Structure 1
């Protein structure tokens, strides 16, 4: 006897060892649930802490604003706004690049640095090299990701078209800034470090290059703690409006920060939804195991009570059994969670450029995971434990009452002549224990549900790509101008080599108001007969631009709480800054952002301007695309060029590694549920029916027939549970998509038949492997020993 352990504790250890296979199966499911929670919350903590430290150390601004051209003395007026602590003006421009060994046109955003020293706000973390010399106008610092993707180093030269003039720039430093953790080029949805980078150049050099002497086109502010940022934004807009201000915004709407926030919200949603499925299944399995154990130990319970043990001691004994099973799973879940967290953190480190993004232990995640797991175990075991405690000694010493064999309507099925005897035994056992059958059915369905609810995201990505790159965008290239230009600029582009069709487009910043709701958006003006950029309704039909009114994305319509036929007030933040009441003529489906659309002619009329565009979509002759790329680079007035083929390639390359890793993780954890459920059910059935199965072997049934009787029930349950799981998976996909929707993008609920098939295959495969472990025990049954069992 082990010292310090009571007889009940020794019995507990023996029970756990005797049922070690089932204990391990339940522990694996608990471990997966805890691991997902630890991974999600731990990665969330890592991202949040690392980002906040980065922002604080390198002074990420609170408010941002862009203007067309404002004199430097306006900065003093901004500083006079109550609550504003720091003001830094600068010049920010897009340029086109020529990079050696890169065929496609690349783009960069050049940000000015003070002529002396470092920036006050949005400072640079310098990894290599130095700052540009004030008297060296062609020296630049480039972003670290861009340098790595193009194998650039300090001392290398890169060509850039600045205001229509080709210049050779020398790289003297490599660094990053908190402003560009997630750097997106013009017209792109994911970072493409090979074709888009951030450059920093001295202010005087940029003033000369872009004819902005003594002026700025971008400003950053910080505000004192407790200051109402919305008030500061309104007052800053009033100051900057006469100079072409396009509307100030706080850091929550800053593109890079918004993407990081969106990813953090998704991690939080994952931690709330997915672990719950695992823990519910584990609770059901623990309930089944304890019920069977208590039925087996009825006489032992009677003896224990006869020796004076109280109800509370017996209840606590069986609760400890559930807690012990779960505790092992929790510890394993912590270890697995740390591994997954490290893996996911490394993936994020490649996407989000945050220095020192290394995983850290999140105490709250550990405590929350342990409490959730132990709470589910206690909930699952409580009724069985209380049932054991309520047994009187006299009642417990007697065998369990026999099962009611009344067949009722079932007899008509069992009497069908085409049914063989093993199949009749299977059906009789299924309906004899409906609660247990339902529990097994729930477990299988839950495994399929979880797999579909996670794997659907890859179908959603394919659907998003198809919508963004093919159904709504038929263009091959998108061109952005520095400033809005006369419609003749589109005709000029159409004459470039390789251009087959050109359509103008205009984007204007605006604030849309409906009641007390207000959203800052960009309204896109498209030609009424646009073919290169189309919009889709929720049912997949193309929507033509109406001659009057505005078309809203479903996300934006929901944020403004409007529908078709309602009116929104548009405060245009460009040109003459008109204010107009616009009827909502259509609601469309856009997965990314919160766009709004108008007819281009109606937009220019609203702005009281002649036909004007801010960019163009182009259809190219694939045989002459290289000619187009060479000719467009040096065209004056062009800020950026993006090619659809390059965007698709970048999208696929960026997601490929992540998709394979995440699919592997989801397949393993979904299979773990199925394997645990099937193994547990088969072991319980084997324990209960060992005497019956041994008797059948003695009567002449073969091992295969006995195995069929044991596992046929589980096969039927699996075949019924998989379709139910498919229905639940689609429902879970809707829940996850709704919970993860943000202003930046929404996940369409697309579940392909292939995903249903993969989920079913994973469950069937894992179930088969688990069942084979049990079948091995059937073949090794000691027939004489089993027949001597009194049970």
Structure 2
């Protein structure tokens, strides 16, 4: 066995270039697997620990105003372990150093500052003093964005009255892991936050003494949520209940859970691609080695080495190639995961988010890499083990030199002698040519995916802000108001050039046994400031009768245009009716249920009311308008287009920059690895032919063109195939990352296809130029010497 070990080490050293390329591919696969899986585990651990340690509720419900005895009745529902009530409202804020109005969710804490559910984690400062009115705690993201510390002063408009507030501390809550304004899809930490205030002063300010506006419930272990949801709906219906919902529908929880699901997809898809290419390269390299050592195998078998021993010897080739790559990939995965955790910590507010290198993840990644490499090498190992000694001692039968299929098609008629050599080599090894092309095509496909993520996100932003949401300012009211009066007052404000109202009503949509709770949005027919658009950027008109549903929502409910849907309002008159689905729209953001404003007014039976309005304004008069809106008692929130776009751009840069850079690097590694392998195999198999060309008068450059021509021909075949592979990868990625909150369009443009091809061609060109040095160092005498 010592002799076989020495032989193996010599062969590994002789093929070190090819093995390095394979090890790099394995390292990329392992790094992605370890980094993505480790980060998703870190998020899951942090989420579970936070929820358990700080008593995150299982069920939530909001209402207009319910007396406290209703909460005591809720505590008696089967399956309920604990109930806690609160008061709260969305308010506008004046923040020092911030010219635009900000808004916040102002919610109550018990007067002793110690809630039983959704307990706060105090980052800095102190808790609320029970005997001091006007003290608040501030969410960490809002405090950091506006440089608020203990002692900072804010002014809030609460129930139409201005009130001075003093910041006494910065806190985190499990209900606000991801702080997002109602109706928004991107965080704006500078203009929206969460404030906590003592229950008695806040209830007094909101006229909610001895009453509550929201309730949180912790379930008993193993208790189902369905009966509790139904019971809360029944109890809160007379008090303006808006429909109870479970933890899975909580916005903050959904964002974090969707991110974890996307990381799972990333940890599965990309490593599978890389391990597949690595397995191919291992198989090609080992097949070449077995073919070249045919007589060596016969000699070893004649000396008494058994089939199993030789099979284990050749299995050492992929094993000793994969293990260094897996070790390097594990280290790279740790760095990748730690970087990802830092990015997530900026948006998901955990008390602690620690990334650790899990040894079981490293072991699983290494095992998968070894399995892939052994699967690729299995054919060559089997041939080595089964080769009879007598047959192995004879040289391999020479190839059949007859015109290939490509030549019979007449493709070589107008080629130079070097070109015909390239054509014959491709035609006589069709399987190897196809596999090499597939590997190069994979590199092009990965590069297309990297461009897709960037282009699709920018397209989504363009559609949302240039086609769908074209308003400059979004105004939310403290309560529904009459449409005509509100819009007339808004149009009279300085700088307002156009105003359109909208109404959002919480509803339960039912189709047979399926149901879904969401907001039914009423839009004015012919609205131009805010429109519904599909994934292609085309505006979809709101039908005068019937519902316009997001395609994803329609699929969830199992309905199609023409089907009837039961619509139950969860506020106001709580009317219910069967409405037809007039159309569906394959949109990109959220899941929408839209109805024409007049039809919603008829359904609700309370007239044409609005929840908020969209405004187009004159930028020169923006400051005067914002000053009026900040002081308006019925305005609960003001959102500006500019800050929202800036926040979205920062989020995209943080989340996509590393991903596109990583995929681009991976594509270059795949391209270089596959081309390097193809060139080395071509050189090893055709050393005698190439040396003969040199002897008969071909220069190094002319000989090199034969090798480079074979690689270039494979690239020409691989690039169009890579575009198709890229389109498939884009479709898989789009489906894997799709959620109810956001769906990226499966976008493949000519520009990113061209860019992907150029990057891969450049990597291949660098390897091909390096191959010229191999030919220059070729020992002609040694190669042409007749073997004994």
Tell me if TM exceeds 0.5.
yes
Deviation, 1:415, is 7.9
1:25 to 12, 21, 27: 21
Once the two structures are superposed, the pairs formed by residues 541-690 of structure 1 within 5 Å of their partners are 541-690=538-687
For the Cα contact (< 8 Å) 1:592–1:745, is it kept in 2? yes
CA distance in 2 between counterparts of 1:594 and 1:218 reads 24
Q: Does residue 698 of structure 1 match 2:695? A: yes
> Counterpart of 1:429?
425
Deviation, 1:101, is 2.6
TM-score of the pair, normalised by structure 1? 0.97
Count of aligned pairs: 787
CA distance in 2 between counterparts of 1:353 and 1:169 reads 24
CA distance in 2 between counterparts of 1:554 and 1:277 reads 31
For the Cα contact (< 8 Å) 2:467–2:537, is it kept in 1? no
Deviation, 1:414, is 6.8
2:46 to 22, 45, 50: 50
CA distance in 2 between counterparts of 1:560 and 1:204 reads 43
Once the two structures are superposed, the pairs formed by residues 313-712 of structure 1 within 5 Å of their partners are 313-411=309-407, 418-487=414-483, 488-537=485-534, 540-712=537-709
CA distance in 2 between counterparts of 1:373 and 1:408 reads 37
CA distance in 1 between counterparts of 2:113 and 2:616 reads 46
> Counterpart of 2:787?
790
Query: Kindly tell me: are residues 346 and 537 of structure 1, through their superposed partners in 2, closer, same or farther at Cα, counting changes over 3 Å?
Result: closer
> Counterpart of 1:161?
157
CA deviation vs aligned residue, 1:457-497 (integer Å, no higher than 9, x gap) = 21211121122111111211111111111111121111111
1:189 to 182, 185, 189: 185
Deviation, 1:540, is 4.3
CA distance in 1 between counterparts of 2:224 and 2:360 reads 31
> Counterpart of 1:173?
169
For the Cα contact (< 8 Å) 2:453–2:656, is it kept in 1? no
Q: Does residue 251 of structure 1 match 2:225? A: no
SS for the counterpart of 1:60 is coil
SS for the counterpart of 1:610 is coil
SS for the counterpart of 1:744 is coil
For the Cα contact (< 8 Å) 2:36–2:263, is it kept in 1? yes
SS for the counterpart of 1:633 is helix
Q: Does residue 769 of structure 1 match 2:766? A: yes
SS for the counterpart of 2:362 is helix
For the Cα contact (< 8 Å) 2:113–2:198, is it kept in 1? no
SS for the counterpart of 1:425 is helix
CA deviation vs aligned residue, 1:534-564 (integer Å, no higher than 9, x gap) = 1124554322222221110011011011111
CA distance in 1 between counterparts of 2:654 and 2:118 reads 31
> Counterpart of 2:127?
131
Q: Does residue 238 of structure 1 match 2:237? A: no
Deviates more, 1:733-742 or 1:513-522: 733-742
SS for the counterpart of 1:73 is helix
Query: Kindly tell me: are residues 493 and 149 of structure 1, through their superposed partners in 2, closer, same or farther at Cα, counting changes over 3 Å?
Result: same
Deviates more, 1:160-169 or 1:90-99: 160-169
For the Cα contact (< 8 Å) 2:50–2:174, is it kept in 1? yes
Q: Does residue 149 of structure 1 match 2:149? A: no
For the Cα contact (< 8 Å) 2:535–2:745, is it kept in 1? no
CA distance in 2 between counterparts of 1:409 and 1:300 reads 34
Deviation, 1:757, is 2.2
Moved over 6 A (4+): none
CA deviation vs aligned residue, 1:702-730 (integer Å, no higher than 9, x gap) = 22212211111111111221111111111
Deviation, 1:771, is 2.6
SS for the counterpart of 2:686 is helix
Deviation, 1:362, is 2.7
CA distance in 2 between counterparts of 1:562 and 1:760 reads 42
> Any gaps of 5 or more consecutive residues in structure 2?
none
SS for the counterpart of 2:106 is strand
Deviation, 1:417, is 5.9
CA distance in 2 between counterparts of 1:375 and 1:410 reads 36
Q: Does residue 104 of structure 1 match 2:100? A: yes
> Any gaps of 5 or more consecutive residues in structure 1?
none
Once the two structures are superposed, the pairs formed by residues 252-331 of structure 1 within 5 Å of their partners are 252-331=248-327
For the Cα contact (< 8 Å) 1:414–1:424, is it kept in 2? no
For the Cα contact (< 8 Å) 1:98–1:105, is it kept in 2? yes
Query: Kindly tell me: are residues 409 and 21 of structure 1, through their superposed partners in 2, closer, same or farther at Cα, counting changes over 3 Å?
Result: closer
Deviates more, 1:371-380 or 1:288-297: 371-380
For the Cα contact (< 8 Å) 1:326–1:374, is it kept in 2? yes
Deviation, 1:786, is 2.5
> Counterpart of 1:115?
111
2:67 to 46, 58, 71: 71
CA distance in 2 between counterparts of 1:544 and 1:127 reads 48
CA distance in 1 between counterparts of 2:118 and 2:407 reads 78
Task: Please provide the CA RMSD for this pair.
Answer: 1.6
SS for the counterpart of 2:61 is strand
CA distance in 1 between counterparts of 2:750 and 2:100 reads 37
For the Cα contact (< 8 Å) 1:449–1:732, is it kept in 2? yes
Deviation, 1:628, is 1.1
For the Cα contact (< 8 Å) 1:45–1:362, is it kept in 2? no
Deviation, 1:601, is 1.0
Deviation, 1:416, is 5.3
CA distance in 2 between counterparts of 1:301 and 1:417 reads 41
CA deviation vs aligned residue, 1:226-265 (integer Å, no higher than 9, x gap) = 1011111111111111100101111111000000000000
CA distance in 1 between counterparts of 2:480 and 2:787 reads 91
Deviation, 1:737, is 1.3
CA distance in 1 between counterparts of 2:554 and 2:692 reads 69
CA distance in 2 between counterparts of 1:775 and 1:661 reads 35
